[in-house]
Each structure stands twice: as C-alpha cells, then as structure tokens.
C-alpha cells in the first residue's frame, strides 16, 4: 500500500477527525510556544552572559593590576627595610651608588610593569639612584620623566610634602610619553621623610593590561583612587564627554553592571571596587556592538530550533501513520464503537506491550530500592538491630549466612558495568549454592562484588579457582589484566562495609605490586614507609588550611626534627623555609602577619641566613595563628552545615525514598562525607536520625490525632506497616495501638 493511499485512508477515519488531527495541531501549537519561550530565554541569557563576561574581564584586569601593585609594594618595603639604602652614605666603599643601582635593577628582574624605579634622598636633592643607573636629578628629568606642565624643582618640592603612599595620575612628559607615578615615603607616615621611592608606570603598559576588555567593542575605562581622583584613563570611543559621564558613578562601591541610555544610545556600565587598594574601576561599553556580536549565535540557534520543531512534527505525523491500527483500536475502545474489521491480534500484541512495560517499571523500582539499600549499607548506615528491617523494606533477600566482598577494576573502555560485563561476572558465580551482587563505586572507578554462600564455599581453596578462571577469561575477552582484591569472610551484612574496604585496599596493593592478579587482604605487607621532607611540608600546610591546630603542632615538631638533621645542608633548609612561606602567604588573612611574612621573604632573599632554624620559630607562630583563625571560621561553617542537613531531613521526612544519597545531593556533599560528618557532630548516622524523627512524629500523631495507623505511616515516610509494628514493639515494649490507648489525650478507640 502506497504512503499516499495509507494517508488518505487514515484521514477518512473517525480516529483522524476526532483524535489524530486535533492532537497533531495541539502538538504543533505547543512546539511553537516552546520554541518562542526557548528562543526568548536563550537570547536573554546569551546577552546576560555576554555582559557578565565583560564584568569578569574587568575583574580580571583589576586582579592583574592589583597583583602588580602588591609586587611593587613588596619592592618598596624591601628598599625601606634594607639598611644600605636607608643609612649608608653613597661614598661608602662597601655600598656605593653603583652597588645600590644594581640592587634596584635586580629587584626589577622579571617585572615588566614598572618602567623606572627611582630612589631619591632628601639630603641629596641633585642625585638619584635609578634602575637605569646612578644619575643626576636634572639629567634623569630631562631624559626620561620630565612632565610638560611643571619643572623639576616644583615637582620635587611638591614631592617632599608627601608623607603617605600616594598615586600621581598619568601625565604627559616632554618626550611625548605618559607615566603614572607611585610615591612611597621612607619612613612611612613620618613628618619629614628622609627618602622617597618612585615607581613610574607607562601608559602603554596600562593600555596593554586593559585593552582585552575592548577587543570587540568601543568604550572607556577610568580608574579612580581612594579619594575619587582619576589616575588612569583608557578611551577608544569617539565621545568626548565620557569622563564627565563616568564621574557620576564614582561613589558606587558595589561591584556590578547596569544598562544606561545616553542621547538615545545604550551603554553597559561596569563597576568594580578593589578591596586591596580601594581603587574604583568604572567602564562604559556600547551595548549595540555587543548585541551585534551575538546575532550570528542567535540566528544559528533559531535555525536549530526550527529544524528540531520540523523534525518533531514530521515524526509525530509519521508515527500516527505507522501506529494507526493499534491507536485506532484504543480509540474505538474508549469511544465504545464496534471493533469493525480490527483483528484480535492487535489486541494481544498491544496488551503484551503494556504488560511488558508495566513489568519493566516494577523491575526498575525494585532495582532502585535495592540500590538505595546497598548504598546505605556501604556508607555504614545500618547496625545489627536495623539491618533486618531495612532488608525487608527494600526487598533484599540472601539465602546464605556468609558474605565475601571482592574488588576489581572496571574495563578500561567504560566507567560503569554494562550488561555484557555484568553477565560476564555473574556467569562465574551463578550456581545453586551461591549468590552474587554487583555494586559500583564511582570514586575511584572500581567494582565491588558481594558473594553470598556458605562459609565452606567461600573459603580460599573453593573460591580461588573461580577467581582464577574469571581472571583468565577477562584477559581474553576484555584484553586487559583483571586484578582482584579479596576481603574477609563475614557472617553479617553489617560487617560487609569494613570487609569491602579491605577488599579495595587489597585490590590497590595487587595493582601496585604488579606480579600478582589475586590478593587477599590478609596477605598485604603493612610495613610503614619513611616520610619525605616534602610530605611533611605538604601535611603541615594541609593542617594549617584545614584549621587543624593539633595536626599543625605535630607537623611542626616533625619539621624541627628535620632541621636538627645534620645531613641536610643549610641551603636546603633555607629552601624548605622559603617553600613554607610561599605556600603560607596565600592563606594568611591577618594583615600584621602578612607584613611579617614579607619581612621574612626579604630576609631570605637578600641576606645570608646562617641559621634557618631561627626563622622556623617565627614561622611556627604564623602557622599556629593561621590554623586557629581558620578553625574558628570552620566552626561557624560547621554549624551552618548541620542546620542545613537537619532542615533537609525535616522537609523530606514524609518521603519514603529519603536516603543518604538524596540528603547529600540536596546539601551538595558526598554521601560518605555526610555520614562521617553527621555522626561526628550528632552522635548518630543520618538515617538513624531520620528514624528517630519519624518515630517521634508517629508517637505524636498517635497521641494527638484520630488518624488511622496506615495513614500516619504514609505521612511519616514508612513503607511497611508490619515491619513498623515489630520495630515499634521492640523499642517501646508495646504495640502502637496500646501506646495510643495509654498516652492519648482524647477519649475513644481508634481503628488501625
């Protein structure tokens, strides 16, 4: 029968007029609505993401400039603390001007942000030490940084009035260059500073840093200092009034973005406030140019949506044609029309299809229940008293009394046990006297195999031939060596988690040794290996970052023992101190200690340290103080996490599918971490806490309502009424109805 004839036949039927055509039209309408909403949302999100990307670029620019300013501050602090700069006359034989200028040049090695570094003593106004050499003040002014709008005498007279760190804005020089100057008086905050450190930053350097924001659009950026004065200006737009427009927003210290309209043109206003030096970064970018860059993406996405919609409509029409007879049969049964020429074969096939689908749903639900049980089991959520009830509630049954966990890696081509691999494993243990369950643990990727049988069948002489055959066939079938770790034989499901961990450890030992393919936990060599110095340093920094004060003290003791070892050179010890300071610098959040770290860095980099152990004493105090500070913050976060977990449990208490996995997913943590963390702080596992809350809620409803017991159990998340009654009687010594009769505040009898 041709497609045209089939379509003509279908369209003449009542099914087409009453069901098929209206359904197809409704589907087309829905698809158009979904397309419109999806495209509108996509355009809005695309535009918002583009704006956010620009804001992130501005934040990255601030971070880059701030990092360079930090380096500059460190250089200036080093010069201030260096005695030859501060106290030694320039005619000193040991520290002459040549030596000090070489020191300035060395400080700028690898630093392409600073154009010139100048050291100026008030007592020697005609003489400068610079990164380009020892030079007279007039020569340096005329050759390098002389400003067009002032002379050298006025500049240095103004300079001598500065007593605090100050930024001089970008200004044009006689050589048509432009520099921003950062002034550091020495000593800082003194009424009459004795010297000044001048750092010159060129406009070209600043432009190269900020131009990434304006690669695809025009706009302007201005940086304002703490007092609100502009110190740098970048402009690649044709508007001359941008500076006046940006000045209206200098008081806003909240980082963010907003759309504004000026003279009929739309602009994006970006504002980022630096917490380090209190500078305000404000930029304005033309919105229409960003929108133009997004047009191609919007057009491509619209074309994609239209294609998907067209394919879906064609698929629905084709499906209606192909499935006409069974759909027509269902329509006739619903409308009460006679069956006509429809044969009973279609009824049988259709019923078989529905039956198979229903059975599949039942199997999936049962598998999910069993998965939840084994997930909670491996997370040690059950004890000897609760595990039997959990087994019954989740439909998990074992025929024999002994269990043997085994661990093996997944095939290299997959990260989950597909059906072929599962059948391959089960084929070796599918026996009349043995039962096997596969459990996947995703981190790391390995497979846990739980074998259930008698103790004799699980003994080494009985199970090892099966594992050997499994290894040989896996090597042939999956083209890889299959290492197998074997745990201990246990007599209770509650003991399985500990034995499973032993199997995993045996698996890793088997893989690392490389000369065995099967290893039992009892065969592992448990000799301790000596810790390397780098391990001690790493453990020390981990303890500090985690706020573990006791562990920090232990690691510091080990570090002291390392420094007493005469076989380690003094230079190596200095490197160890430097390594600790480098990693510690980013974790210190106390300003006074940050200054001390910078001072210790200067000591290490510029002095001959003969006793690094003395520096370790100072580092010890910094480590302990930082660990204590982080411990206080972690305690606050710990209280918040416990409150979140308890709130999640309370909200989902009536859900009979509530499990360790669902709770951990809602809280954003792993199930194993949730189990350990909750038990440490609450004294019980999360599922025991759930059980206690549910039991208390049942008691309250029994005493204060006239609800039937089965309704109470549904409301509190229990699945099986008979299991609950046994559990209640074991805990309270009486049945729920007797408890209600003895404790009810109302008079009357209630049905169960």
Tokens of 605: 């980099």
pLDDT of residue 443: 43
Angle between helices 612-651 and 533-545 (to 10 degrees): 50
> What is the residue whose two structure tokens read 């509190």?
716
Q: Is the CB of residue 281 less than 8 Å from the CB of residue 213?
A: no
On the question of pLDDT at 346 being above 50, the answer is: no
In angstroms, rounded to a whole number, what is the distance separating the alpha carbons of residues 269 and 283? 6
247-282 tens-digit pLDDT: 565 545 455 777 777 777 777 888 888 888 888 888
On the question of pLDDT at 416 being above 70, the answer is: no
The mean pLDDT of 83-108, rounded to a whole number, is 68
pLDDT of residue 235: 75
Q: Is the CB of residue 257 less than 8 Å from the CB of residue 231?
A: no
Sort residue 661 into left (φ over 0), alpha (ψ -120 to 50) or beta: alpha
Average pLDDT, the chain: 75
> Which stretch of 358-372, 489-503, 578-592 has the lowest confidence by average pLDDT?
578-592
Q: Is the CB of residue 509 less than 8 Å from the CB of residue 524?
A: yes
> What's the Cα-to-Cα distance from 539 to each of 412, 533, 549, 551, 558, rounded to whole Å?
33, 10, 12, 9, 10
Q: Which of 609, 619, 632 is nearest to 541 (CA)?
A: 619
In angstroms, rounded to a whole number, what is the distance separating the alpha carbons of residues 585 and 70? 12
Instruction: Give the pLDDT band of residue 529 (cuts 50, 70, 90).
Output: very low
Instruction: Give the pLDDT band of residue 489 (cuts 50, 70, 90).
Output: very high
Q: Is the CB of residue 194 less than 8 Å from the CB of residue 121?
A: yes
In angstroms, rounded to a whole number, what is the distance separating the alpha carbons of residues 8 and 249? 70
Indicate the pairing of strand 219-224 with strand 230-235.
Answer: antiparallel
3 state SS for 399-465: CCCEEEEEEEECCCCCCCCCHHHHHHHHCCCCECCEEEEEEEECCCCEEEEEEEECCCCCCHHHHHH
182-236 tens-digit pLDDT: 898 988 877 888 888 888 888 888 888 888 777 767 777 888 888 778 888 887 6
58-76 tens-digit pLDDT: 888 888 888 888 888 888 8
Strands (E), 255-349: 256-262, 265-273, 280-286
Query: Cα-Cα-Cα-Cα dihedral of 630, 636, 639, 644, to 10°?
Result: -100
> For the chain, what percent of residues have pLDDT higher than 90?
1
Instruction: Name the more confident of 243 and 748.
Output: 243
CA atoms within 13 A on the CB side of 681: 17
pTM over 0.85: no
In angstroms, rounded to a whole number, what is the distance separating the alpha carbons of residues 628 and 137? 51
Give 721's contacts (C-beta < 8 A, 6+ positions apart): 709, 710, 713
On the question of pLDDT at 403 being above 90, the answer is: yes
Q: How far is CA 469 from the centre of its chain?
A: 43
Q: Is the CB of residue 696 less than 8 Å from the CB of residue 690?
A: no
In angstroms, rounded to a whole number, what is the distance separating the alpha carbons of residues 51 and 704? 57
Tokens of 9: 């036949």
691-738 tens-digit pLDDT: 888 888 889 888 988 888 888 888 888 878 888 888 888 888 898 888
> What's the Cα-to-Cα distance from 241 to each of 244, 260, 262, 263, rounded to whole Å?
5, 15, 11, 12
pLDDT of residue 744: 74
Contacts 24+ apart (CB under 8 A), 97-106: 97/127, 97/129, 97/134, 98/134, 100/129, 100/134, 101/129, 101/130, 101/131, 101/133, 101/134, 104/79, 104/129, 104/130, 104/131, 105/131
- N-to-C CA span, the chain: 63
5-47 tens-digit pLDDT: 555 555 555 555 555 667 777 777 787 888 888 878 877 777 7
634-650 tens-digit pLDDT: 777 778 888 888 888 88
In angstroms, rounded to a whole number, what is the distance separating the alpha carbons of residues 723 and 736? 12
For residue 91, the SS3 value is strand
CB atoms within 10 A of CB 376: 22
Q: Using CA of residue 618, residue 624, residue 627, residue 632, what is the dihedral sign?
A: negative
Instruction: Give the pLDDT band of residue 86 (cuts 50, 70, 90).
Output: low
Give 503's contacts (C-beta < 8 A, 6+ positions apart): 405, 406, 407, 448, 485, 486, 487, 521
- In this structure, what DSSP letter does residue 684 have? S
In angstroms, rounded to a whole number, what is the distance separating the alpha carbons of residues 21 and 4? 17
């Amino acid at each position: 029968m041709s497609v045209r004839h089939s379509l003509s036949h279908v369209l003449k039927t009542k099914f087409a007029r009453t069901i098929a055509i209206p359904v197809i039209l409704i589907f087309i309408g829905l698809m158009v609505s979904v397309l419109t909403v999806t495209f509108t949302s996509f355009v809005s999100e695309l535009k918002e993401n583009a704006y956010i990307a620009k804001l992130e670029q501005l934040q990255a620019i601030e971070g880059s400039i701030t990092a360079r300013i930090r380096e500059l501050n460190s250089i200036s602090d080093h010069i201030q603390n260096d005695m030859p700069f501060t106290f030694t006359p320039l005619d000193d034989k040991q520290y002459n001007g040549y030596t000090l200028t070489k020191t300035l040049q060395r400080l700028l090695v690898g630093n392409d942000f600073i154009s010139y570094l100048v050291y100026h003593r008030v007592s020697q106004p005609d003489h400068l030490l610079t990164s380009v050499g020892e030079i007279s003040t007039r020569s340096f002014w005329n050759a390098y940084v002389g400003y067009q709008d002032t002379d050298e005498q006025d500049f240095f007279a103004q300079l001598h009035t500065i007593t605090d760190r100050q930024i001089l804005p970008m200004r044009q020089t006689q050589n048509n260059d432009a520099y921003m100057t950062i002034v550091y008086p020495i000593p800082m905050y003194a009424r009459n500073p004795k010297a000044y450190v001048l750092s010159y930053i060129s406009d070209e350097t600043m432009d190269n840093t900020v131009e990434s924001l304006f690669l695809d659009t025009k706009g302007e950026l201005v940086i304002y200092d703490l007092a609100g004065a502009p110190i740098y200006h970048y402009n690649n737009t044709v508007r001359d009034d941008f500076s006046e427009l940006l000045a209206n927003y200098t008081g806003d210290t909240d980082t963010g973005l907003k759309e504004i309209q000026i003279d009929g043109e739309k602009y994006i206003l970006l504002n980022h406030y630096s917490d380090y030096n209190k500078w305000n970064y404000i930029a304005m970018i033309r919105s229409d140019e960003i929108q133009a860059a997004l047009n191609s993406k919007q057009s491509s996405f619209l074309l994609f949506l239209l294609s998907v919609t067209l394919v879906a409509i064609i698929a629905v029409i084709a499906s209606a044609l192909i499935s006409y007879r069974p759909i027509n049969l269902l329509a006739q049964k619903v409308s009460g029309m006679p069956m006509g020429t429809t044969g009973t074969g279609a009824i049988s096939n259709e019923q078989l299809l529905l039956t198979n689908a229903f059975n599949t749903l039942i199997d999936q639900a049962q598998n999910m229940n069993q998965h939840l049980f084994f997930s909670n089991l491996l997370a040690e959520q059950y004890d000897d008293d609760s595990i039997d009830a959990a087994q019954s509630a989740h439909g998990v049954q074992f025929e024999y009394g002994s269990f043997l966990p085994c661990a093996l890696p997944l095939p290299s081509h997959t990260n989950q046990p597909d059906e072929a691999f599962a059948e391959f494993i089960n084929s070796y243990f599918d026996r009349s006297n043995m039962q096997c369950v596969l459990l996947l643990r995703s981190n790391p990727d390995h497979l846990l195999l739980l074998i259930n049988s008698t103790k004799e069948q699980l003994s080494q002489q009985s199970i090892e031939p099966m594992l050997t055959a499994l290894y040989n066939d896996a090597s042939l079938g999956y083209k890889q060596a299959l290492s197998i770790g074997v745990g201990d034989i246990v007599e209770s499901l509650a003991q399985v988690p500990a034995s499973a961990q032993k199997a995993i450890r045996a698996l890793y030992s088997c893989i690392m040794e490389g000369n065995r393919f099967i290893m039992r936990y009892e065969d592992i060599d448990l000799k301790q290996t000596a810790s390397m110095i780098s391990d001690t340093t790493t453990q020390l920094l981990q303890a500090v970052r985690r706020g573990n004060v006791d562990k920090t003290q232990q690691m510091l003791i080990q570090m002291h023992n390392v420094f007493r070892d005469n076989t380690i050179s003094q230079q190596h010890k200095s490197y160890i101190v430097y390594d600790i300071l480098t990693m510690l610098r980013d974790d210190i959040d106390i300003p006074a200690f940050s200054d001390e770290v910078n001072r210790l860095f200067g000591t290490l980099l510029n002095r001959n340290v003969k006793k690094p152990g003395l520096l370790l004493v100072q580092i010890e105090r910094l480590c302990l103080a930082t660990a204590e500070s982080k411990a206080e913050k972690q305690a606050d976060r710990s209280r918040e996490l416990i409150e979140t977990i308890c709130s999640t449990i309370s909200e989902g208490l009536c859900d009979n599918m509530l499990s360790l996995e669902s709770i951990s997913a809602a809280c954003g943590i792993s199930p194993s971490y949730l189990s350990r963390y909750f038990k440490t702080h609450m004294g019980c596992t999360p599922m025991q806490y759930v059980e206690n809350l549910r039991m208390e809620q049942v008691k309250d409803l029994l005493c204060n309502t006239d609800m039937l017991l089965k309704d109470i159990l549904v409301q509190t998340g229990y699945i099986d009424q008979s299991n609950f009654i046994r559990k209640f009687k074991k805990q309270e010594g009486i049945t729920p109805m007797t408890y209600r009769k003895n404790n009810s505040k109302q008079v009357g009898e209630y049905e169960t």
